[in-house]
Amino acid sequence: MAWGFHPKKSWILGAWVAGPLILLLLWWKDRAILDFFKTRLTYPRTGYAKPPADLKPAPTYSWGTRLFGWRADSNVSAFRGTAFVFFVASQVASFPFMGERWGITVLMALAAVAVFASSRRDAHPYSWQSALAIALAGLLSAMVEMPHSARRFIPLLIGGVWFLAHGVPTLVRYLRTYPAPKGEGA
């Protein structure tokens, strides 16, 4: 998709401005957006009347807490940290030395190692097979002919598909396990 777009078109220029703003909003308000969907989709199925109260942050912060939103003693997965790996990979992919066909393959193999290693302390760490899928997707991208300007979007595409491959089955399994509550009159 990316190599067909030219920044001289007004709607593409708008996307280049709106895209980062939307990403910043998602990064900043991710918890509020997630609570909005949970309140309407998952909480009624498990008996929550309203979302649980936000936990107060620990008084001391590390750079990981500020950047990725996780603490070492919390029972959560570090989604922000994993997303950050794909973001950094997309930035590195735009460097001139990444012009070689195998550059993205090597980059995605490194991203797979980073995702696997960084999730070891998470409540639900990613398996080596899951990380291997990232590296294999990078290998598949070497088979697609594309201009250098489009290569920076490949890590984001791989990351997005990878997150969907994890999230959609989990959501479907949850929705099947906890069916929607019946109405009061039923």
Report pLDDT digits (tens) over 32-49. Answer: 887 888 887 877 777 765
Q: Are 135 and 116 in contact (CB under 8 A)?
A: no
- Find the domain containing 37 and state its range: 8-48
Please report which confidence band the pLDDT of residue 26 belongs to, taking 50, 70 and 90 as the band edges.
confident
Q: How many CA atoms lie within 13 A of 26 on its CB side?
A: 9
> What is the structure's pLDDT at 135?
94
Q: 100 and 27 share a domain?
A: no
Higher pLDDT pick, 4 / 27: 27
> What is the structure's pLDDT at 53?
61
* Residue 87 placed within a domain: yes
> What is the structure's pLDDT at 143?
86
Q: 37 and 123 share a domain?
A: no
Higher pLDDT pick, 117 / 6: 117
Would the pLDDT of 1 be above 50? Answer: no
* Residue 3 placed within a domain: no
> What is the structure's pLDDT at 63?
47
* Residue 96 placed within a domain: yes
Q: 104 and 152 share a domain?
A: yes
Q: 174 and 93 share a domain?
A: yes
Is this prediction's pTM over 0.75? no
- Sequence-distant contacts of 127-132: CB under 8 A, at least 24 apart: 130/162, 130/166
Q: Are 138 and 108 in contact (CB under 8 A)?
A: yes
Q: 99 and 159 share a domain?
A: yes
* Residue 105 placed within a domain: yes
> What is the structure's pLDDT at 185?
39
* Residue 185 placed within a domain: no
- The mean of the pLDDT values for the chain is 76
**Domain count along the chain:** 2
Q: 43 and 80 share a domain?
A: no
Q: 150 and 94 share a domain?
A: yes
